[in-house]
Structure 1
Amino acid sequence: MNLTPCITCFGEILLRFNTQMGLRLIQSAALNIYVAGAEANVAVLLARLGLDSRMLSRLPDNDLAEMAIAELRKYGVNTSGIAKGGERIGTYYVENGNHIRPTQVIYDRSGSSFSQLKPGMIDWEKQLVDTTLFHWSGIAAALSASAAAVCSEGINLAHEKGITISADFNYRRKLWNYGQEAKEVMPELLAYCKVAVADLDSVAIYFGIKAEENLPLTDRFEHCFALLKDKMPLLQTFAMSFRVVEGLNHVYFAGLAHEGKFYYSTIHTLPLVTDQIGTGDAFTAGLLYGLSSGFSPEKMINWATACGVMKQSVHGDWALISKSEIESFIQSGISTKINR
């Protein structure tokens, strides 16, 4: 890739409202607010790691949007590509679960500024100048037919310009409500991807590719990639993270298919998870950082996995971690020491 990588992320910027202290929504008198969104999560970590990271989106012209933009800028993300228009910023509400009860998410994104994007609204020629990698996710295409068409605009022009295209499959069942199923939309949009992150469920939903559930996760991953390569002929780098709950511990690791070979990360056992949301985005950002930095495949997958692990120690969507913290974690693993 270019010696000075510039990564442009395209997707919806959200506000996340979170219950406090493990309370249920029906118990809560107050909510914590975080700026969020899958692609924004990727952009923030890439910027914190020192890359030229740009966020391309659409927000209303109001103070809530300005607050969100200011938060992105605070962490180093270039926000010059965020268009103004429409009337509302999308939101979602989180009730954190525990080892007994799952985390619940309620979306309120219908009619948001981003969902009302239409072809021609974004000057893609301008926004992709100097871009070396264009990243998007299935969430952007799930919000409306017109938003999916805008995804197609950007993807096609990026492909014409020879820009590497990266996608996170990111299937969200609750968002596909505009009359088309994900399997009707996503395969065409994913056709030009050279880099992709997915889980086994999203691959099954988009492409009908399934592996026997009684097989080891590593075998299922390799089977999945072998079949997916026929559907996505340009795919060169494909990664997938895995979480297995064993008692009160979360076991987390990942696999990478890169230029015809398979690699697996160190297996991490997490005794505590502070916030699981955004883990996959941190993993994706770590992978893109590794690719952009010319890491070996072994280092790349361990770096991405470390980003995913460390995100789970931070409240909110964003992996507010540093390069030195990631490197230290890779060398030493989980630590309860006090840095003085």
Structure 2
Amino acid sequence: MNATPRITCFGELLLRFNTQMGLRFVQSNALNIHVAGAEANVAVLLARLGLDSRMVSRVPDHDLAEMALGELRKYGVNTSGVAKGGERLGTYYVENGNHLRPTQVIYDRSGSAYAQLKTGMIDWEKQFAETTLFHWSGIAAALSGSAAEVCNEAIELAYKKGITISADFNYRRKLWNYGLEPKEVMPDLLRYCKVAVADLDSVAIYFGIDTKEGLTYRARFEHCFSLIKEKMPLLNTFAMSFRVVEGLNHVYFAGVAHEGEFYYSTIHALPFVTDQIGTGDAFTAGLLYGLSSGFSPEKMIEWATACGVMKQSIHGDWALINKEEIEAFIKSGISTKINR
């Protein structure tokens, strides 16, 4: 890739409202606010790692949206590509679970400024000037038919310009409500991807590719890649992370298929998880940083996995970590040491 990579991320910028202290929705009389969104999560970590990271989206012209944009800029993300228009900023609400019950998410994104995006509203020629990698996700196409058309508009131009295209499959069942099934939309949008992050469920939903549950995760991943390569002929780097709950520990590891070879990370046992949301986005950002920095595949998957692990120690969507912390984690693993 270019020696000075510029990564452009496209998707919806959101506000996340979170219950406090592990309370359920019905118990809560106050909510914490975080700025969020899958692609924004990637952009923030890439900026914190020192890359030229840019966010393209559409938000209303009001103070809540300006607050959200200000948070992106605070962490180094260029927001000059965010269009203004519409009346609603998308939101979602989170009730954190624990080892006994799952985390609950309620979306309120219908009719948002982003969902009302139409082709021609974003000057992609301008946004792709000097862009070396374009990143989007399945969520960007899930919110409305017109948003999916804008995804296609961007992808087609990026491909014509020779820009590397990266996608996170990011399937969200609750968001696909505009009359088309994901399998009718996503395969065509993914055809030009050179880099992709997925999980076994999303691959099955988008492409009808199933792997045998009795096999190891490594075997399922490798089988999955052999089949998806037929659907995505340009695919060069394909990564997947895995989480297994063993007793009270969350076991987390990942694999990457890169240029036809398979590489796997260290297996990490996490005794405690603060916030899982955004883990996959941190993993994706670590992978893109490794690719953009020319890391070996072995180092790249260790970096991506470390980013995914460390995000789970942080409240909110964003992996507010830095290079030194990631490198220390890769070297020494989980630490309870006090830095002073």
Q: Which range, TM-score by smaller chain?
A: over 0.9
Q: Aligned partners of 1:82 and 1:238: how far apart in 2?
A: 29
Which residues of 2 match residues 132-211 of structure 1 at below 5 A? Answer: 132-211=132-211
Q: Distance in 2 between matches of 1:325 and 1:287?
A: 16
- Report sequence identity in percent: 84
Shift of 1:25: 0.5
Q: Partners in 2 of 1:153 and 1:184 — Cα distance? A: 17
Q: Write the distance in 2 (CA, Å) between the matches of 1:43 and 1:120.
A: 23
Letter in 2 for 1:143: L
SS at match of 2:222: helix
CA displacement at 1:266 relative to structure 2: 0.2
Equivalent positions of 1:268-287 (< 5 A) are 268-287=268-287
Aligned to 2:18: 18
Describe how 1:285-296 pairs up with structure 2 within 5 A. 285-296=285-296
Does residue 327 of structure 2 align to residue 333 of structure 1? no
Q: Secondary structure at the match of 1:80?
A: strand
Counterpart position of 1:254:
254
2:66 maps to a residue whose letter is: E
2:223 paired residue number: 223
* Residue matched to 2:60: 60
CA shift digits 1:43-82 (9 cap, x unpaired): 0000000000000000000000000000000000000000
Q: In structure 1, give the amino acid aligned to 2:51.
A: L
Please state whether the residue corresponding to 1:219 is helix, strand or coil: helix
AA partner of residue 94 (structure 1): V
Q: Which amino acid aligns with 1:45?
A: L
Report the counterpart of residue 84 of structure 2 in structure 1. 84
> How far, CA to CA, are the matches of 2:83 and 2:119 in structure 1?
13
CA distance, structure 2, for counterparts of residue 106 and residue 218 of structure 1 = 33
Counterpart position of 2:238: 238
CA shift at 1:164, angstroms? 0.1
Distance 1:207 1:17 in 2: 33
Distance 2:252 2:212 in 1: 21
Cα deviation, 1:167-219, whole Å, max 9, x if unaligned, reads 00000000000000000000000000000000000000000001100000000
Return the TM-score normalized by structure 1. 1.00
2:73 is equivalent to residue 73 of structure 1: yes
SS of the counterpart of 1:336? coil
Partner Cα separation in structure 2 for residue 266 and residue 101 of structure 1: 28
Q: Which amino acid aligns with 2:45?
A: L
Q: Which amino acid aligns with 1:137?
A: S
SS of aligned partner of 1:283? helix
Q: What amino acid maps onto 1:71 in structure 2?
A: E
1:36 paired with 2:36, answer yes
Deviations 1:6-39 (A, max 9, x none): 0000000000000000000000010000000000
Instruction: Give 3-state SS (helix, strand or coil) of 1:79's partner.
Output: strand
Aligned pair count? 340
Give me the whole-angstrom Cα distance separating, in 2, the residues matched to 1:15 and 1:294. 34
| Offset, 1:228 | 0.1
Q: SS at the partner of 1:245?
A: strand
Structure 1 runs (4+) greater than 4 angstroms displaced: none
Give the match's secondary structure for 2:166.
strand
Aligned partners of 2:215, 2:189: CA distance in 1, in Å? 30
AA aligned to 1:52 is D
Q: 1:322 is matched with which residue?
A: 322
Shift of 1:122: 0.6
Q: Secondary structure at the match of 2:274?
A: coil
**1:100 aligned partner, one-letter code:** L
Helix, strand or coil at the partner of 1:7: strand
1:2-17 alignment, distance < 5 Å: 2-17=2-17
Quote the offset at 1:107 in angstroms.
Answer: 0.1
Alignment partners' CA distance in 1, 2:181 and 2:144 = 11
CA displacement at 1:160 relative to structure 2: 0.1
1:141-166: per-residue Cα shift (whole Å, max 9, x none)?
A: 00000000000000000000000000
Find the aligned partners of 1:92 and 1:140 in 2 and give their Cα distance: 15
Q: Unpaired runs of 5+ in structure 2? A: none
Normalising to structure 2: TM-score of the pair? 1.00
User: What 5-or-longer segments of structure 1 have no aligned partner?
Assistant: none
Q: In 1, Cα distance between the equivalents of 2:329 and 2:215?
A: 30
Distance 1:318 1:290 in 2: 18
1:299: which partner in 2? Answer: 299
Instruction: Output the aligned Cα RMSD.
Output: 0.2
